[in-house]
Structure 1
Amino acid sequence: MESSRSETLMTTLGFRPETGRLYDRMLPLAGRPVDEVASSLATSVERLRRDLEPLAEFDIVSLADGTLTVLNQTEVVARMLAITAERASVAHDRLLNISKAMPYVAGTVARAAAAQPADEQPLDGELFSSRYMPETLEALVGGSTGDLLWLRPDQWAMPWEDHTTAMVAEAIANGRRCRAIYPVRAMAEAPVAMAARARAGEEIRLLADVPTRLLVIGSTHAIIPEPLGNTSSPRIMVRQRGIVEALTLLFERLWAAGTPVADFERARHGAAQRSFLLEQLASGAQDEQIARRLGISLRTVRRRVAELMTELGATSRFQAGAEAARRGWL
């Protein structure tokens, strides 16, 4: 009965059922050495650390100093309420700023309409506010030609990801090229979805951050959110040649800056992760920023930084950057 209550609590707080069950198993083991905990669960310490990352990200569990620390249920609720309150405050401030900007936007639109010359023609495209339907995209891709260019900051979380992957696989099988740019955190957050796209033949590159969703279809269509970012609706479908070309140039610029992923599984655990971590350290990014960009917990970032410094024989981040550059890792 206690296990059921714990799992219900954790899932109510937004965790997956398996994470709730893992928390329930960790709670009575609090205070024990990490190697003893791993042994009791018939797993390795490294595997245990990976399994606990969803909880460690919110400091619900900690393996610091070789000992398992676990917040009790009351402390977990307090921690998640504090995090939720902080996020709500940020959202409130953002909405307030948007509301303050609306009168200026409305005024600009009114002036533009009044000043429009008689010989001007509207741009070729539409603004859609309806819910996204994958069948619509499938029909559009099926009725067009040319390469598919994707910016995919977060679409793997959509319920129609399997449908879209099947569409991409069919397009590639028909001789079309598909290229996609993902944020590096996708390797941690969506390994199954990325692996499926890679198996379908999609060419993948990674950036620390992908600024917006985008799909360019050949030289004739482009689909972007309005405004740019990570939203499904409203969205703009553009057929205006100059705009499609401009968005293609944006994609190509980001593609050139991205890190190729020829072997997805190897990239998840190997040089690509190390390369991104070094780039972030070299740019002066703080651990919290690196964690968000790589999609891993703060504790994991600090552990990997420590491992990297040990591998480089460095005693400071500056020294680690210099040594990495000397070795040609940057």
Structure 2
Amino acid sequence: MARAEDGRLVAAFGLPERVEPLYRRILPGSGQALEQVAASLLLPVEELLARLQPLVALSIASVEDGVLHVVDPATATSRALAQQAEKLLVASRELNRIADVLPGLTEVRDEHVHHEQLVDGDVSAMSDVPSLIAQWVRENRGDLSFLRPDQWRFPSESEMAVAVGNAVRSGRRVRAIYPARALSEAPEVLRTRAAIGEEIRVVPSVLTRLVVVGPRRAIVPEPLGVGAERRVVVRQPAVVGMFQAYFDLLWESAGRVDARVGRLPEHDQRRLLLAELADGVKDEQIARNLDISLRTVRRRVAALMDELDVDTRFQAGVEAAHRGWL
């Protein structure tokens, strides 16, 4: 009876519902060989390892030298609560960010509108986006954030470089995130933008174009991506704030680039590769995203697994997370 009560307590305080039954099933097997526990659950070892991932991420379960270790319900509850507290802290920061811009939602532009406020923005087929951004730079004092999956291929690149330079000279921070392939496809563009003061980071792939200028200006394709002919121009502070929050989260996980030498530091190369593995990306797609050969991908994955002293990619992701590499 006490064990059942403990199980409900763990579930109530944050253990995901989908793994709470698994926790109760493996708890009696703590201290036994993983293969023995898997057999008792009628599961292959690899499948059990995959199902254990959420519990491992919470430090509630672990596998050492082939032996499964599961913490007691009280400790499991404590660790689940700690993770929930961390998530709430992150959410609180984002809510505070949105709260800062919410007063803009109460501004009524039409005297006939008292109870509803339309979102400030529009959709258009504009083609001269660089001129619009340059105008925003002249009219606004906010920092600039760019997602740039492919813009270096366009004739407007030099115009955008001028706008970026003007923003930096006026004391604003300019940040841009590129896909890793830009290091080989457009090294001169990266060097030029870095030279005028743009801060550059890369991720394996950038899914959409995006420009944010200050707290009240953003522009994205409609639909999101790189091939759309229409653009959404957003002036609603709360919506712009959400775009900025997304960019900031991506920025924190991106690799820093020394544009003068055109490559990532070794630890950031490793982090991007581990991020791809953690997302379950296949070797062929990793090679395309990171702009390296398939042979290099497999060699680096093998080296990482050897360095982490693990046998599977799943274990590599778990161990890398424990070491703070992700």
TM-score, normalisation: structure 2: 0.55
- Aligned equivalent of 2:106: none
Q: Any residues of structure 2 matched to 1:8-157 within 5 Å, and which? A: 120-157=116-153
Cα–Cα, structure 1 residues 316 and 266, in superposed 2: closer, same or farther, change >3 Å? farther
In the other structure, the counterpart of 1:225 is 221
Compute the displacement of 1:309 (Å): 6.1
Closer/same/farther in 2, CA of residues 296 and 320 from structure 1, 3 Å limit: same
Structure 2 equivalent of residue 281 of structure 1? 277
Cα shift at 1:303: 4.5
170-179 or 312-321, which deviates more: 312-321
Change over 3 Å in CA distance of 1:212–1:318 after alignment to 2: closer
- C-alpha separation in 2, matches of 1:312 and 1:256: 24
Once the two structures are superposed, residues 109-137 of structure 1 have per-residue CA deviations (whole angstroms, 9 ceiling, x without a partner) of xxxxxxxx996443322212132342332
1:151–1:181: 8 Å Cα contact kept in structure 2? yes
Q: Report the counterpart of residue 206 of structure 2 in structure 1.
A: 210
Corresponding residue for 2:107? Answer: none
Alpha-carbon distance, 1:167 to partner = 1.5
Identity among equivalent pairs (%)? 48
SS class of match (1:273):
helix
CA distance in 2, matches of 1:257, 1:221: 24
1:165 pairs, out of 154, 161, 174, with 161
Equivalenced residues, count: 214
Q: Provide, for residues 155-191 of structure 1, a one-character-per-residue CA deviation record: whole Å limited to 9, x for no partner.
A: 2222211221122012101211101122223223322
What is the rounded CA distance, in whole Å, between the counterparts of 1:141 and 1:123 in structure 2? 22
Shift of 1:262: 5.4
Q: Quick one: distance in 1 between partners of 2:120 and 2:323? A: 51
Q: 2:283 touches 2:297 (CA, 8 Å); kept in 1?
A: yes
* Pairwise CA distance, 1:217: 0.7
Q: Aligned letter for 1:171?
A: A
Question: 1:258 offset after TM fit, Å?
Answer: 2.4
* Separation in 2, partners of 1:296, 1:132: 34
Taking the aligned partners of 2:173 and 2:262, their CA distance within structure 1 comes to 23
1:198 is aligned to 194
TM-score by length of 1: 0.55
Say if 1:133 and 1:152 are closer, same or farther in 2 by CA, change over 3 A. Answer: closer
Q: Distance between the aligned counterparts of 2:242 and 2:322, measured in 1?
A: 38
Give per-residue Cα distances to partners, 1:11-53, cap 9 Å, x unaligned.
Answer: xxxxxxxxxxxxxxxxxxxxxxxxxxxxxxxxxxxxxxxxxxx
CA-based RMSD of the aligned residues comes to: 3.2
Question: Quick one: which amino acid aligns to residue 163 of structure 1?
Answer: E
1:170-319 matches, cutoff 5 A: 170-231=166-227, 233-261=229-257, 265=261, 267-268=263-264, 270-305=266-301
Structure 1 unmatched runs, 5+: 1-116
CA distance in 1, matches of 2:116, 2:318: 57
Task: Return the offset for 1:205.
Answer: 2.4
For residues 249 and 322 of structure 2, the distance between their equivalents in structure 1, rounded to whole angstroms, comes to 27
